[in-house]
Structure formats: C-alpha cells, structure tokens
Amino acid sequence: MNNIPRPEHPNPQFQRREWLNLNGKWNFEIDKSKSGIAKKYYEPQAKLERTINVPFCPESVLSGVEYKDFMDAVWYQREFTVPEKYADLKTILHFGAVDYKATVYVNGKEVGTHKGGYISFEFDITDYLNGGTNILTVYAEDDTRNPLQPRGKQSEEYYSHDCDYTRTTGIWQTVWLEFVPESRIKGIKVFPNVENCSVDIQAEVIGSGKFEVLALYQERIMGAASVETEGGLITAHLDLKESYLWEVGEGRLYDLELRFNEDKVDSYFGLRDVKLDGQKFLINGKSVFQRRVLDQGFYPDGIYTAPTEEAMIKDIQISMDVGFNGARLHEKIFEPRFLYNCDKMGYIVWGEYPNWGLDHSNPNIVYSVIPEWIEEVERDFNHPAIIGWCPLNETWDYDGRKQFDDALALIYKTTKALDKTRPCIDTSGNFHVITDIFDLHDYEQDPKVFKEHFDMLMTEGKLYDNHERRQKYPGGPTFISEYGGIRWSVNENEQNAWGYGDAPKNKYEFIERYKGLTDALLDNDQMFGFCYTQLYDVEQEQNGLYTYSRKPKFETSIFRAINSRKAKIEL
C-alpha cells in the first residue's frame, strides 16, 4: 500500500482496519464532446486511451496528465479485486471528493450518482461485484462557468487571474473500499461536556445488538458504556475519569473504540466547548483572540490535493511558526485528513463552502449549496478544531441584481439546526442578513487610516463598514476576517504578481505596514480576532508570508513576535 500516492487512511475519525486504497494508476479519458455515454465508456470492455495518477486532478503535474483547458466531462476506469478474506462482508466504495457531478459504474452497471465537488460520498456495491476481477468506472461532469455550480477559487477564465487559480476536474481525493458486516455502525456524533467531564456518543447503527464504546487517553481507560438496541439512533453516555481539555496549541485527544457486534470502528474526540460572551469568543470558558490566516488549500504540484500528508502538516506548522493559531479554510472544503492534523495540533479553523461562481441573486442557489453543505456539517461535526461555520463568502450583487437574502437566511438557519454547538456567520464580509458574528473585510493599506476605521468601535460603539448601504452593524461580537494582502513578490521582475494596494518599496516597509495593520486589531478591546490574507502565495496572487513553494519571504520570528503578543480583549 505504501507504493501508491496518499496511502494513509483518509478519515481517522471513522476508521476501520478492513479497507483497501484504490489510489494509483487508472485509465482516463477527456470527453470533450460529452459523447462517452453514447460510446458506452461505462462498459467493462471500453478502452480509455490515457492514464492518470489518482487522486490528483488531471490539471496537476502529479496526475501525469497536466491538461489545463476546460474539461466538461472526464472518464476514469480501473480494475480491482476484493480480497478473499473479505468475501463474506459487504463492500462499500468511498470517494473523498469528485468535482462536480459523478456517476459511478461497477462492471458496466450504474451504481449511483453524486452532485457536489467537495464532499465525501459512498455506495454499497456488494450486489454489483463479480467473484474475481471487477471494473470500476467513474464519469464526472464539471462546468466551472455555470452560475449555479459552486467553484470556489477555480478560474472561470482559461488563465488564472487575480485571486482565481487553476481548476480542478474530477477525482481529487482518495478512493477506497471498506469491508463491513451486515450489522454495523453507520456513523457517530460526539457531544463533549467540559463542565461535567463527560461525553455523549450518538450513534446510528444498522441491525440489533450491543453498542459498546470505550474512551481512552494515552492508552489509559477513561470511561466506558454499552447500549442494547434494535437499530437506528442511540446515545451512550460516558463519565470521564480525568479531564484533558482540547485547547489552542494543545490538541489533546481522547481515543474512542466503538463496537457493534462484529463491527469495530476507531475514532477520537476533543473535550472542548465554544461560546460567545459579549464581544468575546470563549473556548473552554477562556477568552481566545483568534490570530488566523487565510489558507486557500492549493499546492503547486497537486492543485487542490496535497502531495503527501506531510505537506498538510507543514502548512499548519508554518502558520504556527509565524504566530497564527488558526486559519480560515477558504472557499474550499478541506479533506478530513487535514482537519485531523488540525485537531492533533490544536489549530483552530472555521469550516467554509466554495460558493464563488454562484449567482447569489438567483433563489435556486439554495439547491446548489444546501445539500452539499449539510453533508459537510454532518461529516465534520466531530472535529474539535472547527470552532465555527461560515457557509458563504462575499455574496456580491450579481450584474446589478442584489443577493437573494432569503437564501442566505435559509442556509444560516439550516446550519444552526444541524449544529447548535458552534456559531455561524451567514456570509463572510458582505452582505450580512442573519449572523451570530458580524465580520468585515478591509484591505486598507495605510495603518493609520486602518486604525481609525475601527477605533470608533471602542469609542462610539460603531463599526466602520464600506458596505454600510447594504448592511448595518447591530452590535455584538465582531472581527476583521480579511485584511492585509500586502503584495510582495520574491522575484522583483514578476510582472503578473497580484495583491492588494501598492507593494511596499522594501522589506522594512512591508514589516512596518504589517505591524501597523495588525497592532490596530490586537489593541482593539472590542475585537476577538483577525484573519490575515494570506499564508502563502498562490500562483499570481503573491501576498503570502511564504512563497507558493512554502519558503518564508522574511524571518519567521519577526511575524511571530507581532502576531503572538497579548490582545487587549485577552487581558
């Protein structure tokens, strides 16, 4: 298994030992005319002319294809065999993510479809299998220019431009098989209670029997419970012997061993809670200033897909090296393995959705967003590192037509119905309709003017907003969720470098500007955090503290000193 790309289990929060990674070389075809169905590419005997290295998208270097023009449709095909030791179990086929609409065939028969380019999905393929070699075929359609298809930061033009980058088409996360008994655990939700030092495990099970759960910390048993059930939803309550809080910078995690008859699943959880208290954001009852940075989740050789797990860990570590304690996972649903490492490292993040590309004036966007957004909140609910949800970002009016406010309100209310344990921002920056936190974006480059914008929040209770005709600050918790974006290209001859405002004349001016902008927020006792744009350059957008290849542009200690000092709201 170690000879294939991305060999690690893709979801440590719900992991069985009986699984098979299907990454590696697949047959591949670009279906420019979308005639593959007519040509019966789904048939087992179909011959696809190219090969591709899954899970990397065909636009990427690591895929071996490197085709960067628009691809409205693509096909994948590979053989697989179910190991004999799993012959008596059910076979579940998992996809980490396929952009955008996937149709899956096994041995020429359609198994199912899934719409949404960013979230995991699965099919029970047991009844479609042969005794020996099986043929798996995937057809993916992806229309980046459709105003009802979310694309995130993928460019709608042929070339990357401004803050839009190379596209991702088709499979871009791990594909794997899982072998499960008839009676099994379908999923779990974890509800930790910091005050009572306990945890409730809500499980969905298929079949009747005894559900058992064991909680451990560093291999020491902390609690246990069991529940007899006829199937469906059940809850097991565990009182924990010792309290080890999950905190910023300290990713203390309890292991969970889950059993249901013959089924066993490994998981984990963090003992932590989040609350809003006036202007403060509390984690485990303590005021925490969120020193976050914008992370776009792009890689030079893998585009949307990290080349290795080490590359994901590195992105978290280089952020912490310059004094950030978390990130906005921006315009993309990050994979569970990245979130797992955030959990382990005590790195706070907000879950987002890739809404750019949508026409927010069209009421039908609810059908584009809500189904996949529900899947995201349900899948990632148990990650302690996720401390809030933000389904939309900068829902600009479209060609003079205003955003459809009722859609934003419905998406917010759906989020709160799914998760009452975290705050939700309806749309980051603009234009707010109903929100737990009123955040703003401000790319003013003059630190003096920037400070004046937000000092009146302390003196007059008013929040500067360059969109005040479209939204009004009602009071309550707030922070600046995008600022900075200071342009700085390591290559002084770079003609296409893009960033916000005029680039500093030298590195000393860059540092002075960065410090002035950041100090204005740290010294504001009505702000609970900030998010700087951005961690690393992405293609032509060169305003990161690191280059696209993750090399520091300046000494990291300079920014660590600026970012990590106590904020006024923490005192």
Residues whose CB falls within 8 Å of the CB of residue 118, separated by 6 or more in sequence, listed in order:
97, 99, 150, 152, 332, 333, 353, 354, 372, 376
Radius of gyration of the chain (CA): 24
pLDDT of residue 493: 52
Tell me which DSSP letter residue 37 carries: T
Residue 477 burial (10 A CB sphere; 0-12, 13-18, 19+)? buried
Q: Is-contact 152 356, C-beta < 8 A?
A: yes
Q: For residue 399, what pLDDT band results from cuts at 50, 70 and 90?
A: confident
What are 13's strand-pairing partners? Answer: none
Q: For domain 288-570, give the fold.
A: TIM Barrel (3.20.20)
Give CA separation, 334 vs 122, 170, 265, 569, in Å: 18, 16, 23, 30
Residue ranges in 229-364 assigned as alpha helix (H): 309-321, 336-345
Instruction: Please report the DSSP string for 517-537 in residue order.
Output: HHHHHHT-TT--EEEEE-SB-
Judged against a pLDDT cut of 80, whether residue 1 lies above it is answered with no
Q: CA-CA distance, 374 to 362, in Å (whole number)?
A: 20
Q: Is-contact 50 28, C-beta < 8 A?
A: yes
Q: What is the pLDDT of residues 225-261, one digit of tens each?
A: 999 999 999 999 999 999 999 999 999 999 999 999 9
Q: What is the pLDDT of residues 176-200, one digit of tens each?
A: 999 999 999 999 999 999 999 999 9
Residue ranges in 16-131 assigned as alpha helix (H): none
Q: Which of 215, 125, 179 is nearest to 17 (CA)?
A: 179
Backbone torsions φ then ψ of 311, nearest 5 degrees: -65, -35
- The answer to whether the Cα torsion of 428, 433, 438, 443 is positive or negative is positive
Q: Is-contact 267 16, C-beta < 8 A?
A: no
Q: Which of 408, 459, 117, 436 is nearest to 275 (CA)?
A: 436
Q: For domain 24-173, give the fold.
A: Jelly Rolls (2.60.120)
Give the start-to-end residue ranges of the domains of the chain.
24-173, 184-193+195-244+249-274, 288-570
- Asked which of 36-50, 240-254, 327-341, 462-476 is least confident by mean pLDDT, the reply is 462-476
The pLDDT > 70 percentage for the chain reads 99
Q: Which CATH number fits domain 184-193+195-244+249-274: 3.40.50.300, 2.60.40.10, 3.90.850.10, 3.30.300.130?
A: 2.60.40.10
Judged against a pLDDT cut of 90, whether residue 406 lies above it is answered with yes
> How large is the angle between the packed helices 556-564 and 507-522, nearest 10 degrees?
20
Give the mean model confidence (pLDDT) for residues 552-570.
Answer: 97
The pLDDT > 90 percentage for the chain reads 94
Structure tokens at 488: 């700085």
Backbone torsions φ then ψ of 369, nearest 5 degrees: -95, -50
Judged against a pLDDT cut of 60, whether residue 535 lies above it is answered with yes
Q: What is the mean pLDDT of the chain?
A: 96
Give the mean model confidence (pLDDT) for residues 71-84.
Answer: 97
pLDDT of residue 492: 55
Q: For residue 2, what pLDDT band results from cuts at 50, 70 and 90?
A: low
What are 112's strand-pairing partners? Answer: 104
Q: Is-contact 395 435, C-beta < 8 A?
A: no
Number of Cβ within a 10 Å radius of residue 14:
20
Q: What is the pLDDT of residues 483-526, one digit of tens each?
A: 999 999 987 557 678 999 899 999 999 999 999 999 999 999 99
Backbone torsions φ then ψ of 540, nearest 5 degrees: -80, -15
For the chain, the first-to-last Cα distance in angstroms comes to 51
Q: For residue 89, what pLDDT band results from cuts at 50, 70 and 90?
A: very high
Residues 267-301 as b or e (16 or more Cβ within 10 Å = b): bbbbbbbbeeeebbbebbeebbbbbbbbbbbbbbe
